[in-house]
Structure 1
Amino acid sequence: MARNAVSVPFAADRDVPALIVKFGDYPLHHGGVGAIRSLGRLGVPVYAITEDPYTPAAASRYLRRAFVWPTSGTEEAGHLVEGLLRIGRRIGRPTVLVPTDEEAAVLIAEHQDDLADAFLFPRVDPGLPRRLASKQGLHELCAEHGVPSPSAAFPQSHGDVEAFARTARFPVVAKNREAFVRRRRPAVNGTTRITTREGLLALARDWGEEPGVILQEYLPREEAEDWIVHACFGADATPLAMFTGVKVRSWPPHAGMTASAYVVENPELADLAARFVKQIGFSGIVDLDLRFDRRDGQYKLLDFNPRMGAQFRLFESDAGVDVVRAMHLDLTGRAVPEGEQRTGHRFVVENIDLPALLAYRRSGYTTPHAPARASGTELAWLAGDDPMPFLTMVARCVRPGAKHLYQLWRTGRRGAATGSGGG
C-alpha cells in the first residue's frame, strides 16, 4: 500500500491526478491544503498552483508538485487558459480540476471546450457559475425559482442610492455586487452593515456614478442563525454527497470566513439545496451560505459558491467521502459510496478562531443549534501525518499575520460608524 493511502471502503483511481486551481493571491488558504490531504491520503497524485514555493500548500507531504504561478484572478482569460494548458502538458495525463475560488470556477466553466482534452471537470452551462457568484445573478435566480433570499436593491447610479436611502428601513447591508471585484477596487470591504441614511450617503460618495454594490435587507444576528451546505452533484444534478452544518464563529465577526462550525443534521435545508441545484441544472461541488430568519421561519440563501469551500473538511461521511473525493470518484467513473454525515463533528481554523472566539464572547452571541460537546474535531491546519503546512502557516503569520488581523480589526472599528460587520 502506498505511503499516503488510508483505509476507506472504496478505491480511488490513482492513475488520475488532481490539480488544485486557485487564481486569487492569498497564500494562507486552508481549503487547498485540505483538498491536497483528502485526495493525497487516498494515493491520488495531487498538484497545486501556488503563489510561491513557501506556501502551506506547497509544504504538504501529500503534494506531488507545486506549480508556482503568481496570479491575481484579474488576468486576461486567454492568459489563464494557456497557463492551465501548459501545466496540463507538464502533468502529462488527464487531470481532475479542483477550483478553490470563483475566478477558477468561472474560467473553467466558460472555457470548457478549450480545457476538455487535458482536464476532467463537471460540465455545466458556461454562464451559470459566473451568475451564481454574482450577488445580483444569485438574487435573480432565487426569485426565479422561489428560493428565499434577503430583499435587495441594485443601484445603477448615485441617484438610485439617494432614492433608496429615502425609503429604506435601516439598518441595511452593502456588499460588492460581483465576486471578482474583491481583486480590483471593491466599493465596500466585505459585508458592511449601515445603520443610518446619513451613513449610507457618506459611504456612497466613494462609489462613483456606477455603484458596484447590492443594498440588502439586514437579518439581525439576534434573530438569525448561519447555516452551511456543502455538496457534490453529478451530471444530472443529482446529489452524490450532501452535508449540512451550522456556523458558530467567523472572522471578521458575523460576516467573514468560517472560523468554527459543527455538522448538524438538517433535512429541510438539504432538501432546499437539492431542489434549487436541480432547478438550475448545476453539477459539481457547491458551498452554500444561508441564514435562518427566526422572524419568518425561512432559510434565506446569501451565497452560492460554485466550487469547493475552504471549510469542506468539516464534512465527511462514515464511508470516508467528502465533496472533493466524491467529485474525483464520479469523474473517474467510480461509484460514490453512500453514508451518513458525522453529526456533531467540529471544524476549527486555528489562526482565526481565537480572535473570533474573543469577539463573540464580548458580543454574547451564541448559536442555539451548536452541540454542547463535539463528537470530534477537524483542524484546518494541524495534522499529525502532515505537520509542515501548519508550521509554514505559523511562520508566515508571525509578523504579517498579526498585521493582517490588526487591519481586519481596524476595518471593523472604522465601519462601526456605518455598522460594518453584520449581514
Structure 2
Amino acid sequence: MGGPVVRRAPLALNREVPGLIVKFGDYPLHHGGVGAIRSLGRLGVPMYAITEDRFTPAAASRYLRRAFAWPTTGTEGPEVLIEGLLRVGRRIGRPAVLIPTDEEAAVLIAEHQDVLDEAFLVPRVDTALPRRVASKQGLHELCGKYGIPSPVTAFPESYADIEEFAATARFPVVAKNREAFVRRTSPAVRGTTRIATPGALLALARGWGERPGVILQEYLPRESAEDWIVHGYFDSGSVPLALFTGVKVRSWPPHAGMTASAYVVGNPELASLAAEFVKHIGFSGIVDLDLRYDRRDGRYKLLDFNPRMGAQFRLFESDSGVDVVRALHLHLTGREVPEGAQREGNRYVVENIDLPALLAYRRSGYTTPHAPRRSSGTELAWLAADDPRPFVTMLARMARPGVKHLHDLWRARRAGGIAPAK
C-alpha cells in the first residue's frame, strides 16, 4: 500500500529549497496534492501547502511542514491572489518551488511569473500559453494549427447556433465548459456532459444565457475508444526531461471524470506525438494530457491539456526514481534530472472513487485491452504505511456530510418535524 519511504538511492535534490502546493477553489479531497507532498517530503524536501482549512488530508500529512489555510471564495482578483502568494512566500522565508494543482493556479502563476520570481522558483513559459492550452477552444485551435488530431468540435456563440448544430449533428454529443476554470461565473455544465438527443441539448441550452460558455464535441463511443494519459516535464527549450504514458482503466464519473484506476503502459507513438506537440507550442513545465484513441480511424485525439501536475501523477516513476514533480524540483534548483525508463505495469488506484467506478464499469461491461493481468506494483492515492493520517482524514471528510444528514434527521424526528430532503 502506498510506497515505501525510499525505493532506491535518493535523488540529488536540493533539500534547502522547499516546495509549495498552490491550489485555489474548494476541493479539499485532492490526492494529487498529498502525492506531491509525499513525493518530495520523503526525500527530505521541506513541504508547504495552501489548503482550504487545517483539516484537509494534505494538512494532515507527516511530510508537511506547514499548511497555510486560505479559503478563497472565487471573487478575488489576480492582484489579491498574487499578494496572498507573496505573503505565504514571506512566511516560508526562502525561495520555494511552486507546484500548482489546478488550472487557475497554473494560469495565475504563468501570467505573473515576473512578480513571483522574487519569492519563488517557477518554469519560464510564454505568459499567455497556459491559459490558451487550458481553454477547450484555445487547445482545439492549436491542434488544428499543428495537425494534432482532436474531436470534431463546435463553439456556439448563441442559442441560434445551438439550434443549427442540433439540426445537423450526430448524437450523442458531449458538452464541456469552454474555459478551464469557471469559479468566477456559474458553469454551464458540471464537467463533461453526454447529451443523447437534440431535444435534450436544446432544453439544457436554454439555461446557458445569450452567450453559451460551452463547446459541443463529437462523442467517441467507449466501445471503439481507449483513454490514454501522458505526463511529462519539459525544460525551457520544450525538451522532455521526464515523459510517461499510461492507460486509464476507470474514471469517476464513469468515462468522463477523474482517473480512478490506471496502469503504466509504454506507448512510444503516443509519447512522440505529445513531445512533438509540446515542442510546436513551446511549452515548459509539467503537463498532464488526456487523449482518446479512436479505433475507427486509428488516431489519438487530444482531449485535454492541463498545464500542471495531474492528480494521478504518482502513477508514473522512472527506474531512476523520477516523477514529474521531482523533475520540476530538480530542474528549477539547477540539478540534473537523471534519465530512466518508466516502470512498466505499475498500477494507480484512488480508493474513495474506484469502488463506485468499478461497480459502474462492471454494469456497462467495458474493459480496456491494455490493462495487464498482474501489476508490477500498486500506488494507492491515499493510504500509505508511513503517512496514514491523510487516509483517515479523507474518510472523515467523506463521512461528515452523511453524519450531518443523520443528525438532522434525528433532530427532525425528535421535534416531530419533516426530515430534510435527500
Local SS of the residue matching 1:385: coil
Structure 2 match to 1:112: 113
CA distance in 2, matches of 1:338, 1:61: 29
One-letter code aligned to 2:334: G
- List per-residue Cα deviations over 1:320-365 (Å, max 9, x = no partner): 1000000000000000001111111000000000000000000000
The 1:68/1:399 distance shift into structure 2, 3 A limit, reads closer
Cα deviation for residue 400 of structure 1 reads: 2.5
- The residue correspondences of 1:4-19 to structure 2 (distance < 5 A) are 7-19=8-20
One-letter code aligned to 1:166: A
Structure 2 match to 1:75: 76
Q: Give the TM-score of the pair, scaled to structure 1.
A: 0.93
The 1:350/1:274 distance shift into structure 2, 3 A limit, reads same
- The residue correspondences of 1:6-155 to structure 2 (distance < 5 A) are 7-155=8-156
Local SS of the residue matching 1:106: helix
Structure 2 match to 1:328: 329
One-letter code aligned to 1:90: R
Cα deviation for residue 7 of structure 1 reads: 4.1
Question: 81-90 or 184-193: which moved more?
Answer: 184-193
The 1:227/1:284 distance shift into structure 2, 3 A limit, reads same
Quote the RMSD (CA, aligned, Å): 1.5
Local SS of the residue matching 2:249: strand
Which structure has the larger Rg? 2
How many residue pairs get aligned? The number is: 401
Contact 2:10–2:43, Cα closer than 8 Å, also in 1: no
CA distance in 2, matches of 1:265, 1:402: 44
Structure 2 match to 1:207: 208
Structure 2 match to 1:400: 401
CA distance in 2, matches of 1:257, 1:226: 12
Local SS of the residue matching 1:208: coil
The 1:73/1:43 distance shift into structure 2, 3 A limit, reads farther
CA distance in 2, matches of 1:249, 1:127: 33
Local SS of the residue matching 2:64: coil
CA distance in 2, matches of 1:401, 1:104: 31
Structure 2, unmatched stretches of 5+, are 406-422
Cα deviation for residue 73 of structure 1 reads: 4.5
Structure 1 match to 2:244: 243
One-letter code aligned to 2:249: V
Structure 1, unmatched stretches of 5+, are 405-423
CA distance in 1, matches of 2:189, 2:285: 30
The 1:301/1:164 distance shift into structure 2, 3 A limit, reads same
Q: Give the TM-score of the pair, scaled to structure 2.
A: 0.93
Contact 2:25–2:183, Cα closer than 8 Å, also in 1: no
One-letter code aligned to 1:91: I
One-letter code aligned to 2:129: L
CA distance in 2, matches of 1:296, 1:245: 21
Structure 1 match to 2:280: 279
Cα deviation for residue 286 of structure 1 reads: 0.4
The answer to whether residue 135 in structure 2 is matched with residue 165 in structure 1 is no
The 1:395/1:339 distance shift into structure 2, 3 A limit, reads same
The answer to whether residue 326 in structure 2 is matched with residue 338 in structure 1 is no
Cα deviation for residue 372 of structure 1 reads: 1.2
Question: 376-385 or 68-77: which moved more?
Answer: 68-77
Cα deviation for residue 399 of structure 1 reads: 3.5
CA distance in 2, matches of 1:388, 1:401: 21
Question: 31-40 or 190-199: which moved more?
Answer: 190-199
One-letter code aligned to 1:278: K
Structure 2 match to 1:413: none
Structure 2 match to 1:197: 198
- List per-residue Cα deviations over 1:93-113 (Å, max 9, x = no partner): 111000000010000000011
CA distance in 2, matches of 1:181, 1:235: 29
Cα deviation for residue 181 of structure 1 reads: 1.6
CA distance in 2, matches of 1:175, 1:290: 15
CA distance in 2, matches of 1:403, 1:171: 38
Structure 1 match to 2:187: 186
Contact 1:9–1:319, Cα closer than 8 Å, also in 2: no
One-letter code aligned to 2:83: E
Structure 2 match to 1:269: 270
CA distance in 2, matches of 1:401, 1:134: 35
One-letter code aligned to 2:401: P
CA distance in 2, matches of 1:221, 1:401: 33
CA distance in 2, matches of 1:237, 1:13: 23
One-letter code aligned to 2:377: G
Structure 1 match to 2:349: 348
The 1:64/1:247 distance shift into structure 2, 3 A limit, reads same
Identity of aligned residues (%): 79
